[in-house]
Structure 1
Amino acid sequence: MNTYADIIYRNALLYPQREAFIYGSERITFTEFNARVNRLIYALRSLDVKKGDGIGVLSWNCLEYVDVYGAAMKGGFIVSPFNPRLQANELDHVINYSGVHTLFIGPELIEMAHLLRPRIPNVKHFISLEGPASGMISHLELLNNFPKEEPDIELQEDDPVFIFYTSGTTGAPRGALYDQRRALSDTRTFIIAAGLQPEDKHVQIMPLFHIGGFKTFLGYFCAGGCNVVLKYFDPGVTLKTIQEERATDIHIVPTHLGAFFSIPNYDQYNLSSLKRMLYAASPMPFELLKRGLEVWGPIFIQFYGSSETGPYVTCLRIEDHKVLDKSAEDQNILLSCGRPNFGVHVRIVDDRGEDVELGEVGEIIVQGNTMVEFWKKPEDTREIMREGWVYTGDMGRYDEKGYIYILDRKKDMIISGGENIFPREVEEIFYQHPAVREVAVIGVPDAYWVERVHAVVILKEGACLTSGELIEFCKKRIAKYKVPKSVEFVDSIPKTPSGKILKRELREKYWAGMKKQV
């Protein structure tokens, strides 16, 4: 099995009547999914979409979203999933950068697509995923007009298949390109590390445009398991779905766990079927994780990774979480992100790229199932990939047992509710306001979001402005999850002699006494 095309076809043969996906009242078997994918491949070819061409998706989770991924994996197209939380000026930039000529649109994004249309001239085909839409091709009609027979496919391991979007230090989008071999190797790593079985049933609340959310989803599919897809995350609906479907697995970020506990009588739901609660995307607060262990037992598994390295660099196993009855020192293992997975190599290095001593802090660099390159950005690729190693920008250390502890970020990125936010992008919005003289955006601890975006602002002389007015100003210009949740007005901001803002000093008063500085 060298490509995802092999697995889609194989699963239809091995598990013909087994449910692959559940979405609302729809239940799709592996055989039915293979047929849907075949039809979509033929349909795209009829639109002159060729192997190696880019197709994009702008949607929330839905069954048709999965069809698009399947067509790319089996038909040789390169799929770009776009974040529907972005504003129009952000979306047109990333869509134009991606080079896609065909764009699939979810029902909630139809109006946005019409707004974007004149700004994205390279997109020739707009396809509505759920139902007809003015000026768009209907996804359902496309499928119905083409056969379900196997198409002629010639795929190679080095054929590109996914582009997952992240941001650089400037906030500009960068696409992490994966080929069939690297992506499939990463999927195998996940299946082995998590111990997935064909009998597993996973509730998909993570957005399918995220590399971690999609790759987890893909792992269960490749293992022959079932994915129960929810359009959005709602804590009550999620717990009810686990109970009704007797689900065995769920992938969360820390914010989700906090949301579960915010429900009155959350323990009314029977979650006894759960075998695994996977968590990733941002650090899990120590006390929140301990509460989860007290309520549901040691069913937790942590993964650490990124868009550039792949999401499964390290794993903190279920066995590692069995520490509630042990000493405080033993419980500190919960502060780690686990040990490197099979086939993944992790080093901790200094600024010269040389290994630090055991226990010393340095930058985490990774070799394994990483991206091929940044799409159309050779200089950015050379910056992060050196001699086969991906430099993550995360600062950490090894302990004597081989566990890795992430202590800080070399870069200033904020992770709030599992979303990556780059301060400079937010700062640039603040600088558009005529009353702002200087601003520094940092991440500060938050019980719900883990980190929240906080802005430290110096106003121009004579200016009068409230924090609420600044927040409203931002809401009109960037995605809501990037908007600061708090604003602090100051007279001065600490800087180095060269004029660089000392964000570490700004963060210190908020993070003092915390076990982690991320």
Structure 2
Amino acid sequence: MEVRPWQQHYDEHVKLNQTYPETCIPDFLRQSAARAPERTAVFFGDIAGDGQLYSRRITYAELDELSDRFAGALQQDGFKPGDRVAFYMPNCPQYMIGYYGTLKAGGIVVPCNALMVAREVAAQVNNAGAEFLVVAGQMYAAIKAVRANTCLRKVVVTNVADFLPPEIQDGAPIVNVVETEATVWLSSFLKAPRGAAVAIDPSDSAILMYTGGTTGLPKGAELTHRNLVCNTLQMTNWMFGPEAASRDERIMTILPMSHSYAMTVCMNLAVFNGFEQIVIQNPKDFNLFLKTIDRLKPTFTSAVPAIYTTINCHPEIQEGRYDLKSIRIWTSGAASLPAEVQLAFENITGCKIIEGYGLSEASPVTHFNPVSGGTVGSIGLTLVDTDCKIVDYETETRTLAAGEEGILCVSGPQVMKGYWNNAEETAKVLKHDGEGKLWLHTGDVAVMDEKGYVRIRDRKKNLILASGGFNVYPREIEERLYEHPAVHECAVIGVPVGSPDQRIKAFIALKPGHSVSIDEIRSWCLAGLSRYKVPKFIEFCDEIPKTSVGKISHLMLKNAEAGNKA
């Protein structure tokens, strides 16, 4: 790839001539276990009744052996390379055991977010053709109710408490399930001998990461071992440089490992480099979150804007009772980070946030701000060995100059093979240019400056056709609302009014102890926005609806609004 302008602004430690070994994801675990078998791979714990944090430690040797046994159990049950295993559980060591075990057996992992309802899980399982499902005990009843409508042949159940320390186990939720030929406990599954080695090619599929993606309904982004290996190495290079494996890093994984962001930027990155990983079961448990930082001193974590918003308003952090500075690198992704949220976090905590960007179709990361400091409000620079361009709205074929607004397109070794069994949807987003180069059209409206820093304006599908025919992007209004001292969270959508035009509606959740009137909000907007961008409707609510990974969901708001009008 020819030299790009953004490469001049990389951190000094970032290696430009990156090489990618012809290897597969399970090799990450094998190599780290061979290099440092007694090093801690996972800390997993919770807060006991005495208010103290207790954690169980699992070494790389143990994780490697348990995942080998999981692979062996699959093989004993007739599992073949290319078969799919679905997972429906919160963050826990069992997820990692099954994830790496499935890949060792040559299988394909199908993550199901723990916040999905049973109907959604069943639909995803059937679309993937998964015959095996590993489920947390507290979710088993939901799966049992829909199992007859799925293609599942075997369900493997585990109580999350099985991998918690003894001080925690008594208070943790457990279920009792009678084993049958079709339903077994993970503890029984792991009694199998270590699995036989399977020949895996880097081009083989590893993950079906389901996403609403760029075109609506959930689809399985088919990611290969090469996709995931390349993105893990790209992120290692970006964050830590070529000597990463010699560093003493401790990764805190608070986001769901079933999501592509945490899968790559936390789990795979930690295992590849042999780092210690602290696994947080519930991302909404801020007591656990804070005590974990205080006790275990992580050095790196990845979060979403909603988590940073909560940190900013947490009374114990505002009072200075917790020092978060052991975490040298805080990253933000999965949704746009409002500038006011970032600046408030950095002012309150003294820590810096590095914002990045990605999408499941790209394993997921394509952009990040430099670790040394980037541009607030920007998703940063394009990663090593990744190309980027902005194209016109209408045809998505004409490359635009710096400063012009259009659709963001990316190309690189981390871009998916396609959507699982969905050539029609694949063709909408994976397109060759006139020179035969394959590009992923993201559907995000963006602008790139002359240095190569990219700013996301909004999703193309979120565009509001406002009164008078003006095009308005919700994010610009949301950024203005976040500047108001009383606003905790907000979201803006377009509301149909029986004509081609829409009216702008803002949903606002206020900070605790604050009050403000609708007229005051309108006046605030009018002072910083063009009149046609000021919301016509304003609704105060206790909380803004979010997706399973903590993104504010404009779609949920649109659907609720449509239901209210029906």
Q: Which TM-score band (shorter chain)?
A: 0.7 to 0.9
Is the Cα–Cα contact under 8 Å of residues 458 and 490 in structure 1 kept in the other structure? no
User: 1:174-185 alignment to 2 at 5 Å?
Assistant: 174-185=219-230
Give 1:77 shift: 0.6
Q: Is 1:401 aligned with 2:454?
A: no
Aligned equivalents of 1:154, 1:490: Cα separation in 2: 52
C-alpha distance in structure 1 between counterparts of 2:232 and 2:380, whole Å: 18
Q: Which runs of 5 or more residues in structure 1 are unaligned?
A: 322-332, 415-441, 460-470, 494-518
Give 1:23 shift.
0.9
- Report the equivalent of 1:281: 334
CA distance in 2, matches of 1:170, 1:126: 32
C-alpha contact (below 8 Å) 2:297/2:326 kept by paired residues: yes
Name the counterpart of 1:21: 42
Corresponding position: 1:10 with 2:28: no
Residue identity opposite 1:59 in structure 2: M
**Do the aligned partners of residues 254 and 141 (structure 1) sit closer, same or farther apart at CA in structure 2, a change above 3 Å counting?**
same
- Residues 55-454 of structure 1: pairs in structure 2 closer than 5 A: 55-120=85-150, 122-130=151-159, 133-134=177-178, 136-143=183-190, 145-148=191-194, 151-167=196-212, 171-195=216-240, 196-197=244-245, 198-216=247-265, 217-233=267-283, 234-266=285-317, 267-297=320-350, 299-321=352-374, 333-350=375-392, 351-352=394-395, 353-368=397-412, 369-387=414-432, 388-412=438-462, 445=478, 452=491
Deviates more, 1:299-308 or 1:40-49: 299-308
Q: Which amino acid aligns with 1:361?
A: E
Structure 1 counterpart SS, 2:557 = coil
What is the deviation of 1:344? 0.6
Contact 1:455/1:484 (8 A) holds in 2: no
Q: Deviations over 1:22-42 (max 9, x none)?
A: 111321111111100110110
Give, as a single letter, the amino acid of the residue that structure 1 aligns with 2:34: L
Identity %: 25
Distance between the aligned counterparts of 2:212 and 2:562, measured in 1?
28
1:53 and 1:77 in contact (8 A); partners too: yes
Distance (whole Å) between structure 1 residues aligned to residue 562 and residue 261 of structure 2: 36
Q: Which string of whole-angstrom CA distances, capped at 9 and with x for unpartnered residues, describes residues 416-469 of structure 1? A: xxxxxxxxxxxxxxxxxxxxxxxxxx898475885548684789xxxxxxxxxx
Q: CA deviation at 1:108?
A: 2.1
* Alignment-mate amino acid for residue 365 of structure 1: C
Give the distance between the partners of 1:7 and 1:413, measured in 2 at CA: 42
Deviations 1:184-212 (A, max 9, x none): 00110111111155411111110111111
8 Å CA contact 1:300–1:317 kept in 2: the answer is no
When normalised by structure 1's length, the TM-score is: 0.78
The answer on whether the counterparts of 1:249 and 1:276 sit within 8 Å (CA) in structure 2 is: yes
1:116 aligned partner, one-letter code:
V
- In the alignment, residue 270 of structure 1 is paired with which amino acid? D
1:60-97 residue CA offsets vs partner (Å, 9 max, x unmatched): 11110111111123221100001232233322222211
Q: Distance in 2 between matches of 1:82 and 1:291?
A: 33
TM-score w.r.t. structure 2 length?
0.72
RMSD over aligned Cα atoms: 3.0
Q: Single out whichever of 359-368 and 187-196 deviates more from structure 2.
A: 187-196
Q: Deviations over 1:259-300 (max 9, x none)?
A: 112221212113232111111011111111112222333532
Tell me the number of residue pairs that the alignment of Structure 1 and Structure 2 aligns: 437
User: 5+ unaligned residues in a row in structure 2: which ranges?
Assistant: 1-20, 46-54, 163-175, 433-437, 465-473, 499-540
Q: What secondary structure sits across from 2:219 in the alignment?
A: strand
Is the 1:396–1:404 Cα contact (8 Å) retained in structure 2? yes
Distance 1:487 1:75, change over 3 A: closer
Deviates more, 1:88-97 or 1:399-408: 88-97
Opposite residue 210 of structure 1, the aligned amino acid is H
Deviations 1:364-404 (A, max 9, x none): 10101111110000111111000110000011111111111
